[in-house]
A and B are shown apart, each in its own frame.
Chain A
Amino acid sequence: MSTAAPAYTAGEEQVVAIEERQPAGLRQLVFDHPRILIGLLLLLVLVFVALLAPWISPHNPLAVNPDDARLSPGAGHVMGTDELGRDVLSRVMWGGRISLPVAFVAVGVGLTVGSLIGLTAGYRAGVTDLLLMRLIDAILAFPALILAIALVAALGPSLRNAMIAIGIVQIPVYARLTRAQVLQLKSLDFVTAARALGASPVRIIARHMLPNLLNPLIVQVSLSAAFAMLAEATLSFLGLSAPPPTPDWGFMINTGQSFLINGDWWMTVGPGAAICVAVFGFNWLGDALRDALDPRLRR
């Protein structure tokens, strides 16, 4: 991934046209766009496997068993065992319990802080806007993954710091997206009317702006969850996330890599597939949601 400018940031600040219509129900939305269903199902499977891992994983993911080290996939161990004899499938199942929460927390941080900054900058305008946006520009001046890696390297490798770092690099996307929408909304008649009627800024934002911001934010959440998964996988592959022996997909690949030369492919392929499926699920869902919710693409 030259996670070179993640694909979704490319068209940032695209203002989504606001149209008057009844919000479609979720069922209708999914019915009209079956791709959404595919993405949702894929992600639900991952979430359920991660949630139920303690009950459905065939082995203890931490149980070291030197006698069974580096067994190729077979009857007892569907995905084989790693260099310490731990069951790879069980570790892949448990791995979701690390990666998925990291992605959710990181996106939560980016979404909350970013859209608050965007709302404030867009609504207040003037000096506030200028200052806040220069701050955002400074974050954007760094390639996202480099910044995340540098932050974790400085703060010290840990799961918590990985979440913080990935969250921080997500802030600009949300800030710019929200700001652009707010600037456009501010000039519309219904907002002017609300202000003329004496509505407070908080009420205008919460009651009249947020509902119109939801669609682009929903799309962005899905796409940036994909980026967060990718970033977490990269950090843990580099050894900058959860410490061993935590079952973490990226780090499993890191250790498995040294055994590739012996032909022990299963240690890396299992967790690699898990990362790809998770990132693909979020990207696919985000793409499908954009097709469904972005009126510019509805032809």
Chain B
Amino acid sequence: MVEYITRRLGLMVPTAFLVTVAVFLLIHLTPGDPATVILAESYTPEAGAKIHQDLGLDKPLPQQYLLYVGRLFHGDLGRSVRNKLPVTQAIGERLSATLELGFAALIWSLLIAIPLGTIAALRRGRALDVVASGLTVAGISVPNFVLGILLILFFGLLLRVLPVGGFVALGESVPDNLSRLIMPAIALGTFGTASNMRFTRSSMIEVLNQDYIRTARAKGAGWWQVVNRHALKNALIPVVTIVGLQVGAILEGALVTETVFGWPGVGKLAVESIFSKDFPVVQGIVLLSALSFMFANLVVDLVYAWLDPRISYS
């Protein structure tokens, strides 16, 4: 196991290197001079030179990269072009909103996915299973912004039971915070719900076919007891992996969901920064999302090995 962890970490080094190179090069992909893009109409040679200096663009490319990585090791992601705030601070201020949304979305997805997936597996091939399978394909086919808008239309504007957007801090008012959280959480979590349910179903079917389940049934245990006591724990192992990856990629869905609902998280910050050409912030968020995705992958692999002793990683 120790050897596996070491090897797994070792493989992450070249990947992390390439990731920083890619993120670093992002600004250089811009056709022409980034300074003219950032400044747009307000471009003057002096202002351009200032931007070059601020972003370090006046130095040779390899030196720029080394400086970039050197700063990264000190936790310095640069400063926002827009408001001169350190990028880490800009992201940090928005992080809690995104985490809250992501956590709620995850709970929504698991609350629906695990029971439905289990029931579908138990009633394999029957009407309920067919309906559930159809729903999962539908669930992964509705973009979260479309679902978000449908929710706004139905619950916000037609029934008028939920506020259509905005954000109230948890510390200010818990009910106001939660009522604004429900719709974005469902919009963000539904994609995960569908794929989690699919995984629960297929992995549950596999477990239910095992001998020890048959033995438990032969000894007179009811389905409920068999599922609860014997099957569920093993069936959820693959689900853990997919959930872990979803957690790592939370920013991806948050980007659009937060924009639709005006939820002031990192995703919305990313979109705002893209449109104001705030490259340091965009780079910071892309790097953060890649690192958290890589980290989630690592944790998932380790948890997987720990949960299922049959898997050997020699």
A, B co-complexed? yes
A binding-site residues for B, Cβ under 8 Å: 1-7, 10, 134-135, 137-138, 141-147, 149-151, 153-156, 226, 230, 233-234, 237-240, 253, 257, 260-261, 263, 265, 268-269, 272, 275-276, 279-280, 283-284, 287
Q: A146-B289, A265-B153, A280-B141 are in contact. Are A2 and B189 (CB under 8 A)?
A: yes
B22 surroundings in chain A (CB, below 8 A):
138, 142
Which one of A135, A151, A284 contacts B29 once the chains associate, using CB atoms below 8 Å?
A: A151
Which one of A144, A146, A226, A283 contacts B255 once the chains associate, using CB atoms below 8 Å?
A: A146
B5 surroundings in chain A (CB, below 8 A):
none
B251 contacts A by Cβ under 8 Å: yes
A242 CB, nearest partner CB in chain B, Å: 17
Q: Which residues in chain B, 187-201, are within 8 Å of chain A measured between CB atoms?
A: 188-192, 194-195, 198-199
B47 contacts A by Cβ under 8 Å: no
Which one of A2, A5, A155, A269 contacts B144 once the chains associate, using CB atoms below 8 Å?
A: A2
Which of A3, A137, A150 has its CB near the most chain B CB atoms (within 10 A)? A150
A1 surroundings in chain B (CB, below 8 A):
140, 142-144, 190-191, 253, 256
A143 surroundings in chain B (CB, below 8 A):
248-249, 251-252, 289-290, 293
A135 surroundings in chain B (CB, below 8 A):
18
Q: Contact between B289 and A4 (Cβ–Cβ < 8 Å)?
A: no
Q: A10-B199, A142-B19 are in contact. Are A5 and B249 (CB under 8 A)?
A: yes
Inter-chain CA distance A105–B30, complex, in Å, is 22
Q: Contact between B251 and A260 (Cβ–Cβ < 8 Å)?
A: no
B245 contacts A by Cβ under 8 Å: yes
Inter-chain CA distance A79–B254, complex, in Å, is 30
A75 CB, nearest partner CB in chain B, Å: 23
A203 CB, nearest partner CB in chain B, Å: 34
Q: Can you list 7 contacts pairing A with B, beta carbon distance less than 8 Å?
A: A137-B11, A141-B18, A141-B294, A154-B30, A234-B256, A238-B255, A272-B146
Which one of B140, B144, B157, B241 contacts A7 once the chains associate, using CB atoms below 8 Å?
A: B140
B197 CB, nearest partner CB in chain A, Å: 10
B254 CB, nearest partner CB in chain A, Å: 7
B150 contacts A by Cβ under 8 Å: yes
B164 contacts A by Cβ under 8 Å: yes
Q: Which residues in chain B, 10-37, are within 8 Å of chain A measured between CB atoms?
A: 11, 14-16, 18-19, 22, 26-27, 29-31
B binding-site residues for A, Cβ under 8 Å: 11, 14-16, 18-19, 22, 26-27, 29-31, 105, 137-138, 140-146, 149-150, 152-153, 157, 164, 188-192, 194-195, 198-199, 241-242, 245-246, 248-257, 259-260, 270-271, 274-275, 282, 286, 289-290, 293-294
A142 surroundings in chain B (CB, below 8 A):
19, 22, 286, 289-290, 293
Q: A2-B254, A146-B251, A268-B149 are in contact. Are A226 and B289 (CB under 8 A)?
A: no
Q: Contact between A4 and B157 (Cβ–Cβ < 8 Å)?
A: no
Q: A150-B286, A156-B31, A238-B259 are in contact. Are A7 and B146 (CB under 8 A)?
A: no
A226 surroundings in chain B (CB, below 8 A):
140-141
Which one of B137, B144, B249 contacts A280 once the chains associate, using CB atoms below 8 Å?
A: B137
Inter-chain CA distance A279–B138, complex, in Å, is 9
Q: Contact between A260 and B143 (Cβ–Cβ < 8 Å)?
A: no
Inter-chain CA distance A253–B30, complex, in Å, is 27
Inter-chain CA distance A138–B12, complex, in Å, is 9
B199 surroundings in chain A (CB, below 8 A):
10
Inter-chain CA distance A263–B274, complex, in Å, is 30
A7 surroundings in chain B (CB, below 8 A):
140, 194-195, 198
Which one of B27, B141, B293 contacts A276 once the chains associate, using CB atoms below 8 Å?
A: B141
A240 surroundings in chain B (CB, below 8 A):
274
Q: A142-B290, A146-B286, A233-B143 are in contact. Are A134 and B255 (CB under 8 A)?
A: no
Q: Contact between A141 and B164 (Cβ–Cβ < 8 Å)?
A: no
Q: Contact between B141 and A150 (Cβ–Cβ < 8 Å)?
A: no
Inter-chain CA distance A156–B248, complex, in Å, is 27
Closest chain A residue to B289, Cβ basis: A146
Q: Contact between A141 and B26 (Cβ–Cβ < 8 Å)?
A: no
Q: A142-B290, A150-B286, A272-B149 are in contact. Are A134 and B252 (CB under 8 A)?
A: no
A131 CB, nearest partner CB in chain B, Å: 9
Q: Contact between A4 and B256 (Cβ–Cβ < 8 Å)?
A: no
